[in-house]
Amino acid sequence: MHQQSRQNIRKGGAGGGRWGSSSVGGIGDFIVDVSGGIGSTTRQRQKRSKMNLAPLAMTIMFLIIFIWLAVCIQFYRHAHHAMPEEQQQQIKIQQQQQQQQPQKVEHGADSTTSTTIPDHYLAFSTACSSSQDWQSFILFYFAYKVSQPGYVIRIASGCSEQQQSDLIHFHETVISKLSPNFSLFFTPDFSDKGGDNYKYFNKPFGLQHWFTHGLKYEDNKDKYADAIFMVVDPDQMPLRPLTYDFTNSNVIIHKSNRGEPKIRKVLHGQPWASLYGFGASPFRVDLDAVFANDTDSPALHVPMEEQGNNYAGGPPYMATGADMYAIVNKWCEVVVRVHHALPKSILAEMYGWSLAAAHLKLPHILAESFMISDVDISNGEGWPLIDGLDNAEITEFSTLQAKEEHLPYVIHYCQNYWLGKWFIGKYRLSSKWLSCESPLLVEPPNDIGQKYDYYIKPGGVPYGTKESLQPVKVKRNQFMISQIIARFNDAATWLKSQTCEEGKANYEKSQIGRGIDVGGISRQRKTRIKIVAPETIVLLITCVWLVICIQLYRHGVVVHDGIVHDATPTIPQILEQDEHTVPINRKVVIEPTIPDHYMTFSTACSLFQDWQSYMFFYYAHKVSQPGHIIRIASGCSQHQQDELLKFHDKVISKLSPNFSVHFTPDFSNVSGDDYKYYNKPFGLQHWLHHGIKYDDNKEKYNDAIFMVLDPDMMLLRPLTYDFTDSNIIIHKSSRGAPTIRKVLHGQPWASIYGFGDSPFRVPLNYVFANYTDSPALSVTGEEQINNYAGGPPYMATGADMYAIVNKWCELVVRVHGAPFDRRRDNLLDEMFGWSLAVAHLSLPHTLAESFMISDVDVSKGEGWPLIDGLDDDELCNFPTSTEKENKLPYVIHYCQSYWLGKWFIGKYRLASDWLSCERPLLLEPPKDIGKKYDFYIRPGGVPYGTKVKIPQAVVKREHFMICQLIARFNDAATWIKNQTCEEGKANYEKSFVFHFSLDPDNNEGGEKKEEP
């Protein structure tokens, strides 16, 4: 899942230390701001001496003050569109309803049932900070609202004595009104357990501390062993009760080889968790180091299929008390070692849970619909439940059980959500947004999903840039914005009714969600007040009021977000105003919005290219490639088309709704001699004309980004139009590197290939017989090599790509038919045709040397410097974080063969059906093969067994390609088996090798000719 996203796999989190602002107490701020601040001002006034003025003068001065005060109040009320009486009455009624003592929460969602269910304990771990204080209140409040059964416990780590005192007071006076079963437990700060201030240690060690010292589990096993324990994050807002029983639930269970549980409940030996997007990554940590004291740990032998489908889980975690206690203790033991292996990873604590559960042989039931969080995720979250809602239900605040049951269990609001200028995100809310004086949030109209298909970031640079959204993401963003703002307001209204002095609570819905993070101060400083003459004070007050009123009248009203607006529009009107209006003091820079991306690849209709196409789609999904991916399949029979469409509907669509297939005729006989590579230019032209109907939709596609790749290219990271902050290596040319490192009109990009000026050695007079003044005829020798010797990935704007493809189709036939006997073969004619087409159109390319890696023997022109710079222990790592992906090239072009010793991988020696259910996975090499071998033995070598020496620099590259390709092939194969094989029929054994023996000195049996 999404830096993420992508992936941003980590969703929220509990941690330690003092996060956020330097304020003390957080929620305590709300209480102190109302009572302490006002009270101290009163006491200071009481200490002042009487004013030494004549009674008449005194009366006149105060009369002036109060006149000005009345004028300003009236002006302020009208400028802010004072609340209508009906709305005020509605709020009073709402407050009266909310001030009623909440009823005690019963076990189970239905209190009328007589069925005995186990006790439930829902725990969440936090630091002591204002930001996590308000998130904790939200969690408690909605646990109450949905009648969450059992006990809800906040485990707060690293609080000072003052913070503890403030929080205890808040729980006693406020939280206890929601339920007597809501409690608070304090622990030390465990962030230094590993010696380097890793705040996420507080979750496992805080839980362990609660088990040991709070519940005293060892002394009370009879009470807790059969209870249900749940671990959630503080920024997870319940939408419905979360209990141990999913018998009649709409929960979507992730498929695995183990199948669905016969009893859909949390049971001993059957824990549950939410599916997260990190797959098998926990098992790619150095397990020998993690389990150094458990060399026979079952975690070392978990099949690949189970790694991704039974252990890739995160909060909500659910287990019986006995299982949870065992997991938490092992978690605390393992997580420190995982963190040492991955010192920069925020996911170490989650990986620790996965490995602890694997060590204890506790595979999880992973639910895909426990929560919703990242609107960009195609599967693994509860979005199908939201996607299926009617538009009217998107903004509805469900309170009835029947309606709640249509929803996921939790909103994990760790992301940002936006439509137009409507926005909500926890990081941009002030830590004091729940205080008495802060207004409520403006609630959006019900039709924002119909008004906007883009968003403008509150902190975007440049401000005002529109970023487009796909329809499905529009609906999801609308749901999150509407629901979160409405629910936050509901919680804030109740809290104000409990804590604010009468008449001091601000219930106006005028705070814009972008907020200003101003932090909080829990205590006002005692300041020595210098005594001045009373007359001076009165005069000063009068002048201040005068200045304020004049400024209000002249310049409008300052609303809560700190941006000056005209006094006339309402807050919703401000959000709906012209998108080019920017906040004051912002530098305005005009820049186009992020364009749509279309990535295409051309194939024939064969099993060989079917599995490569699947690999292409799978890794486009894995790296969260933006935009649309299109397979252009040429020459398919009707039966093949039907089968491919069925495969896309049932399998590929699960990866992304933006992945598609387009069928074209077979163009290989365009010139009458069966040149199969014609299908690339003519297939692409067919898609542009008949697929997206470019001529009829130029406005939509002219500024989009189009890319052309090969089916045997595997994405290692997202490939987009913007290389501003990329590690891309740009090939030097006399034109120099582009000033703006993006794909722009007139500035296409491509990968440099090694054919140099060969396209221009074709008889150009023949190729351009109809264009005797073609610019291609006068391209300099330097440009021929440094600006036109390119190949896939090709990248261009829609307008440029459309022109190139049409000219490419025209010229490639003449290139292929050119009388040029000295060419070694005609394999590259279609590439030469591209080069000459772009030269004819005067579109020199920016050529990248590090778009891809392919040929280990290439000295320059590929991204090998990035691989050569990796540490040896990184060569076999399967990167899951953006930070690691960004160290790699963009693409592996696996068109070569790769070997070390007898370890081998090559696409031409894989069976065309090697992804079928009965076929085994590939045996994965040890991580140190680069130290074992400096030679290779070909699977089909003559004579078989001949050792071929490899230069040391090439050994490292072979090592990387073998490790990466085999691991990635296995990962993709495991996923497709999960989707397509009958239960118990999939072969997940990693056993296939390309020799009878991997021992270089054992060559019995000769060449292994059988396919895997």
Question: The pTM is what?
Answer: 0.50
Domains located in the chain, CATH noted: 25-45+118-235 (no CATH), 244-367 (no CATH), 409-590 (no CATH), 594-711 (3.40.50), 721-849 (no CATH), 864-992 (no CATH)
Find the range with the poorest average confidence among 81-90, 419-428, 646-655: 81-90
Q: 252-266, 510-524, 644-658, 966-980 — which is least confidently predicted?
A: 510-524
| Beta carbons of 969 and 961 less than 8 angstroms apart | no
What is the b/e burial string over 482-497, where b = at least 16 CB atoms within 10 angstroms of the residue's CB? bbbbbbbbbbbbbbbb
**H helix intervals, 920-989:** 929-932, 952-980
Are the beta carbons of 172 and 135 closer than 8 angstroms? no
State both tokens at 89.
């009455």
pLDDT, mean of residues 687-696: 96
* Residue 1 pLDDT > 80: no
- Residue 185 DSSP label: E
Question: Would you state the pLDDT for residue 344?
Answer: 72
**Residue 72: per-residue pLDDT:** 58
Q: CB neighbours of 179 closer than 8 A, spacing ≥ 6?
A: 102, 104, 105, 140, 143, 144, 152
* Packing angle of the helix pair 202-209, 321-341 (nearest 10 deg): 150
The candidate with the shortest Cα–Cα distance to 104, out of 183, 181, 184, is 181
Show the 3-state SS of 560-603.
CCCCEECCCCCHHHHHHCCCCCCCCCCCCCCCCCCCCEEEEEEE
pLDDT at 107: 33
- The overall average pLDDT reported for the chain is 82
Q: Is 399 exposed, middle or buried (0-12, 13-18, 19+ CB in 10 A)?
A: exposed
Q: If 0-12 CB within 10 Å is exposed, 13-18 middle and 19+ buried, where does residue 502 land?
A: exposed
Contact 440, 492 (CB under 8 A): yes
Looking at the predicted structure, is the pLDDT value of residue 663 above 60? yes
User: How far is CA 944 from each of CA 674, 856, 910, rounded to the nearest angstrom?
Assistant: 35, 23, 19
- The pLDDT assigned to 75 comes to 52
Asked if the model's pLDDT at residue 93 lies above 90, the reply is: no
* Cβ atoms of residues 522 and 455 within 8 Å: no
Average pLDDT over residues 332-351: 89
- pLDDT given for residue 372 in this prediction: 95
pLDDT tens track for 550-585: 655 554 443 333 333 333 333 333 333 333 333 333
